[in-house]
Amino acid sequence: MSDDLPDSLIPYDEIVQEALRAVVGRVLGEVQQSGGLPGAHHFYITFKTQAPGVDIPRHLVERFPDEMTIVLQNKFWDLKVSDDAFGVSLTFNQLAAHLYIPFAAITAFVDPAVNFALQFQVQSDTAPEPHEEAENDVPQVATEDGSNVVTVDFGKKK
């Protein structure tokens, strides 16, 4: 095989990213239908706060200007899932906030209860700015070797 592979005319990376984001939508849709999380399942969802279609309170955008991680575990309500986005209400510093997040804005989805994670490539010209951890977050679970992390990167070989 040659290292000089031609560029694909089929956008495989975009197709796979879209399919994996559909996994997130299906999981959240099942949680919505059942009215809660089954067993010990809980989710860390990281998303770009200023991506197109994201609608979150201004104070959260100011605090997390690039990326934010939310946790769906014990205290969330009004979960509504559509084909291309989800909405959920959470509390931050004891203030309720409703978030609307398109699946295209999600950069990571983790269910630490079963060591499952999806990471999505983000096209960006600049490095992300540092940000604080979300108030509704619990201590992060480190991903160890052998986890079920799926990373998709169709970068060209050089």
Tens of pLDDT, residue by residue over 104-153, are: 999 999 999 999 999 987 655 444 455 555 556 444 444 455 555 555 55
Q: What is the pTM of this model?
A: 0.75
State the residue for tokens 């991506």. 51
Q: Give Cα separations from 47 to 19, 39, 85, 134, 135 (angstroms).
A: 17, 25, 12, 12, 15
